[in-house]
Amino acid sequence: MTRFISRAAACGLLFAGLPQAGAAGFVDDSKLKLQLRNVYFNENFRDEQGLSARAAATAKSERTEWAQGFLLDYQSGFTQGPVGFGLDAIGLLGMKLDSGRGRSGTGLLPVHDDGRAADEFSSFGATAKARLAKTTLKYGTLLPKNPVLVYNDARLLPQTYQGAQVVSSDIDNLTLTAGYLDRQKLRDSSNSDGLTPDGYSGAESDAFRYMGAEYSPDKAWRLSYFHGELENFYQQHFFGVQHQLPLAGGSLNTDLRVFDSRDSGHAWKGRIDNRMYSGQLAYSHSGHTVGAGYQKLSGDAGLPFVNGATVYSFSNVGIGKFIQEDEKTWMLSYAYDFSAAGIKGLNFMTRYLSGDNGKSGSAGQAEWERDIELAYTVPDGSFKGLGIKLRNYVYRADFSRGRDSNRLYLTYDIALW
């Protein structure tokens, strides 16, 4: 906690020392927000499928932890003039409330070599930025969110990256993005690490590069293309089409995605020659949303992605990812927004996924998952923004241990200015 406060104070001194001339926009347009996250995570393992006898004898039967997170997010405006300059900063602190050597490893907190969770962990990041017309360049701590790289924010604190990114929307209806990243901090770590693909523990890549375009000719259509490359591991193309159609008093949303992945450079993780095709239809009417989707992988290896990141896939759900080599997955979902019934801020969601034909050690492997989420956010009044979310996940697979997971999230956003 002391370390976090000292870094926040240093951040304040940094801001105070910036030139004031022509900086009205820098100060007047700045924002400072504190987000509180209280997370309880319980996961029980229901079988020992896929484990050797020796591993089964020492395997954990559950993982249970409770932690408190603090996210201090500062975003400046831009100085006045043809080229505006600014500075963003983020301070992160996670504190253990309950854990144990036999119950650690939920992803909320770092785990020491003795199997015990850290009492606390923290990090600080700063980002310099410049803006010319509708083009913004950022350098420093980044939270990238695009089809080929999505930062992970599914536990207590978000994953962060180090690098540079430029985003331009100078052309009407078109957004161009390009970036270069060389370091990351995982969601449960204060350490700055190099980049590797998921499931690989050897040499680190020097960089992840990405670029892409999103075009929206009107409100109904959105077309996307992105390319990403994790140097010496893989390169990946993404194509996406989204469409919204008014239908029978509601809205039919179509989302089609294609990934084409190949090994790159020295191919340190081996041969990759994989395509993933996925599509989802969702119909919304009077607060109800019913969805159905299908996903298919073909070629050598599963879908590659950067270690620790979230996969831009309909199947990246509570526990499973459903992106094994040659895997085929069906998806069904239902959601209800209780605002339609006069209860603002209350939402319900459930989904079911079933995948088969995957190759995880042997052919024909299957997995399934059922998720339920109930969330409420106070819509107005003194406690506006206070949120609670309950999640229950059930996962079973032929190639790994079954899991039942219950998670409780309490969040509160405080706008300090």
Q: Contact 356/396 with Cβ under 8 angstroms?
A: no
Q: Is 80 exceeded by the pLDDT of residue 227?
A: yes
Q: Is 80 exceeded by the pLDDT of residue 43?
A: yes
Q: Give the separation between CA 351 and CA 290, rounded to whole angstroms.
A: 10
Q: Is 70 exceeded by the pLDDT of residue 362?
A: no
Q: Is 70 exceeded by the pLDDT of residue 374?
A: yes
- φ/ψ region of 182 (left if φ > 0, alpha if ψ in -120 to 50, else beta) reads alpha
pLDDT of 274 reads 97
pLDDT of 309 reads 97
CA of residue 401 relative to chain centroid, distance: 24
Report, as an integer, the average pLDDT of 243-254: 97
Report, as an integer, the average pLDDT of 303-326: 96
Percentage of residues in the chain with pLDDT exceeding 90? 84
Q: Is 90 exceeded by the pLDDT of residue 221?
A: yes
- φ/ψ region of 165 (left if φ > 0, alpha if ψ in -120 to 50, else beta) reads beta
Report, as an integer, the average pLDDT of 225-230: 98
Q: Give the separation between CA 147 and CA 154, rounded to whole angstroms.
A: 17
Report, as an integer, the average pLDDT of 348-376: 91
Tell whether pTM > 0.85. Answer: yes
Domain ranges of the chain: 1-50+61-126, 51-60+127-415
pLDDT of 9 reads 39
Best mean pLDDT range from 53-67, 299-313, 361-375: 299-313
The residues pairing with 222 across neighbouring beta strands, listed in sequence order, are: 242
Q: Give the separation between CA 243 and CA 252, rounded to whole angstroms.
A: 8
Q: Give the separation between CA 332 and CA 335, rounded to whole angstroms.
A: 11
Using pLDDT thresholds of 50, 70 and 90, give the confidence band for residue 12.
Answer: very low
According to CATH, the superfamily of the domain at 51-60+127-415 is Porin (2.40.160.10)
* Least reliable range by pLDDT among 97-111, 143-157, 356-370, 387-401: 356-370
- C-alpha distances in Å from residue 355, one per residue of 125, 150, 333, 378, 397: 39, 23, 15, 37, 9
Q: Contact 36/68 with Cβ under 8 angstroms?
A: yes
Residue of 250, 274, 247 whose CA lies nearest to 262: 274
pLDDT of 28 reads 86
In single-letter form, the type of residue at position 261 comes to S
3-state secondary structure of 38: strand
